[in-house]
Amino acid sequence: MDGVVEGTVALPENRLTVGPNARVMADVEAREVVIFGLVEGNLHATGRVELRESAVVKGDILAARLSIEENAIMKGRVDMTATAAAVVTARLPGTEDPATDDAVLDVV
């Protein structure tokens, strides 16, 4: 994805790449997310989130795995669980929150 996007991005079975010229003002849900550009919103990945060197993220990250390259910028909370898929599903309306052991990291 390259360009300006606002709203919600939902690709639960796919990998999303946010290009270096992208400006995304949206909550993002995908299997994997790779970020080179700017994202203002929460990221939910059932798999891996990668913040590349030019990435700027302003929002919370919920993922099973996280990779942050040197010089990437992130402001928000990181919640990493082995059951990120269950947590994302559980947060949908009408479902219960699961009892999980979460590792939480506040990044400023």
Q: What residue segments make up the domains of the chain, in order of their start?
A: 4-107
The rounded mean pLDDT for the chain is 83
Q: List the end-to-end C-alpha distance of the chain, in Å, as a whole number.
A: 26
Pairing of strands 48-51, 38-40: unpaired
Residue 88's SS3 state is helix
Pairing of strands 43-45, 61-63: parallel
Residue 90's SS3 state is helix
User: What pLDDT score was predicted for residue 95?
Assistant: 44
Query: What confidence tens digit (pLDDT) does each residue in 85-100 have?
Result: 555 445 545 444 444 4
Region of residue 87 (left: phi > 0; alpha: psi -120 to 50; beta: else):
alpha
Query: What confidence tens digit (pLDDT) does each residue in 65-77 have?
Result: 999 999 999 999 9
